[in-house]
Structure 1
Amino acid sequence: MPYLQLEVIRNYPYATKKLLAKRIGEVYSKVMKADQNCITVSIRELGEGAIWRCGDGEPMPAAIMMCDIRKGRDAHVRTELFRALIDMCNEVLGLETGQLNIEFTQHNGDEMYHQRLGSFSAEWNEDEGSL
């Protein structure tokens, strides 16, 4: 954990997706003080017309990022993260302001196993080191 899943309606070059994954990992690691070796990013290109934001008027094309994270961080830390992720995704992908929503689902550390590390994620604690 974390598992950060971005769903978009356009297709992007391989290099753009690789850059985006790297930057998402860096931003997440810095803000959440997490080990980058535990971060997984997926980018799903669902195509035009696949994601819509509903409102009073006509539905608008949208993008969504689902963040499965370890529970324990304060709302102000998650706020710092979503602001940084939105700014970065808008820059790298050319998304319009207001197009990307971010949702968090918080889990216990033992709900995510890392084969590469050979263990479950540790529970988050305030002493966890930063970069």
Structure 2
Amino acid sequence: MPLLQFETTLELTPAQKTDFADTVRELYSEVMQTGTSHAAVVVRERSPAELSLGRETDDDRLLFLDADIREGRSADRKRTFARAVMDLAADEFGVPTPNMKVVFTEHEGPSMMGYDRVGSDWSPEEGDGT
């Protein structure tokens, strides 16, 4: 039951946001070896004054991802997903790669809930768990 929250200075149309969210959901499913129906994606546009990096950049296109996920995936698997999302933003919207950040926060499965379900811990049936 991941919650993938993007903060960005990009100005995106509703269709671009929908397409981006759909592609992110598919990437998450593929890399993390899980389904898509429970993956929530949020895309929030911010003004350049609302987001900043600690270093100077000549481009104000920024994209940050705060990914709340179930614990159990390896660092390599998380890195693969992070790079895939950043590559997508670079390719689709021209966000410079130094202007993107991804932070993972891991939760026990039962800490992640929908109205009609409580998440479970990682299980090998969903993938190899690496």
TM-score of the superposed pair, with normalisation by structure 2: 0.89
| Unmatched tracts of structure 1, length 5 or more | none
Query: 2:82 aligned with 1:82, yes or no?
Result: yes
Q: Given the alignment, which residue of 100, 106, 119 partners 2:117?
A: 119
Runs of 5+ unmatched residues, structure 2: none
**Secondary structure of 1:7's aligned partner:** strand
- Which aligned pairs between 1:64-83 and structure 2 lie closer than 5 A? 64-83=64-83
SS in 1 for 2:72: coil
The 5-angstrom pairing of residues 23-102 of structure 1 reads: 23-55=23-55, 58=56, 61=60, 62-102=62-102
> CA contact under 8 A between 1:5 and 1:67: conserved in structure 2?
yes
Moved over 6 A (4+): none
Tell me how far 1:49 sits from its aligned partner.
Answer: 2.0
Give the C-alpha shift of residue 5 in structure 1. Answer: 0.4
> Does the CA contact (< 8 Å) of 1:26 and 1:36 recur in 2?
yes
* RMSD across aligned positions (CA): 1.7
What's the CA shift string for 1:72-93, capped at 9, x where partnerless? Answer: 1111111111111110122222
Letter in 1 for 2:81: L
TM-score by length of 1: 0.88
